[in-house]
Structure 1
Amino acid sequence: MFNRFAKQKLFSVYGISVIGSAVSAVVQIYCSSLYLGEGTFILLGPMLIFNTVSGIITAFFSTKIFLPEEINLQLDTCIFENDSSKTRLHLFIALLIFFACASVFFINKLFLLTGIFIAALIIQKLCKRRIYLLPHISLWLFIFISTVFVPDGKIIFKIWNVSFTQGALITALQKSLRLSAVSAFSQCAVCLRPPEGTILALTLQYYRKLSDTFRSAQGNIFRRIKITLGQQ
């Protein structure tokens, strides 16, 4: 009886994918609330809907594409760093990025945060990283929605029964500038080259090779994925 029960699938691929997406949404919202506040839970409903749809799409793709147990890739070694002096330099840069990101969270003045954010974007550009505004806009929108619904201080204006307060808007601006600055600083890490043989170096190698192969492949998305995974 136990063997017969074990052979039966308790959840289908779609069920597992949707449940995983829902759990992911709850965990993300909870982790966000630790910094952004309880107002973040207002977005739990829309995020559950979005993650449910994405879970169904993921399950659909998983049933159409067979993932091999082993992928043979010719990896490049250009992202390895063998020079010990450069390795120390990259470690120093990594520490600078870390302390720059950490220090942002101790600053409350809006004009200072604005200056740091602009400086971070300039540094990101100097590191030859493109500046995309959409991630920052979506981040700011998420923060403002999760923050303005928690009244704090003087009421500036009201829309129906929702009060927009001065303290909530200032808090939203502070948190948005901090996270955007940290995001821009983190982009500078692209100039770092991990030592050869490390897990990080191998991970970057595989990611670069897979992404380059996928972009250069021809055909529909299913064929491009199969080519990337070495099935064709």
Structure 2
Amino acid sequence: MINKCKCKKIFRAIDVDEKAKRSEKEKKHEFRTEFERDRDRILYSKAFRRLSGKTQVFVTGHEDHIRTRLTHTLEVSQIAKTIASYFGLDIALTEAIALGHDIGHTPFGHEGERILNFIMNDCEEIKGINKDILDSEKGFKHNWQSLRILTQLEKKSEDYDGLNLTNYTLWGIANHSKLECEKCERFYLDENKKKVCSVNNSNSIDKCESNLRIDFYKKDCNDFLKKIINNKNNESWTFEGLIVRRADEIAQR
């Protein structure tokens, strides 16, 4: 018989629910914890329902057994909750992070994300629409888009934008994936041994050898979100967030 982890108190030395902060102050609920409220807000959001229409991979036609972003999210949630339970962590916080982690993802998985990021970095031109796009408008990354949806696009109140989630939930969603884009490096050598961008077949490879930009998201961060992203003194850091990150990797195997 497998025993529960004996180091529970180490992992949950501080009751993070009591220290949770929101951008807009709210009264405490009579019986739901702060993270149960976060979980429920994500679960009942319009963006969460849209996950059923996004596939994990590019597919033509219809296939009953192709994973959607919704089924993937539920699998991540199940794996993460099992691990969190073993370590005696906060199940509601774990579930909230898991349910919201991919809420800003594209259809067609990470390849869809890469193509959209190319478009939003002016690497792949779409009928001149995105030509000479401003640096301040560049970039697409799904974890940043998840934050944008949950803090700006979804509506819970007429008084403010977003779902007003806690700092711990937002930190976990932001950090289930890297916050910065890596170098593209999608180029090849032509017959003259010159580097050519494989996205737009040009000799302009400065973008290939540098990190793609995501300035679009950073310019609109309010002070509350900036504080979470910067995470000075690890004030929004949690084991639950790290567990969801690993569960996400496991679910894709």
Could you say which TM-score interval applies, normalised by the shorter chain?
under 0.3
Give TM-score, length-normalised by structure 1.
0.27
Greater length-normalized contact order (CA 8 Å, ≥ 6 residues apart):
1
Richer in helix (by share)? 1
TM-score normalised by structure 2 residue count: 0.25
Higher radius of gyration, 1 or 2: 1
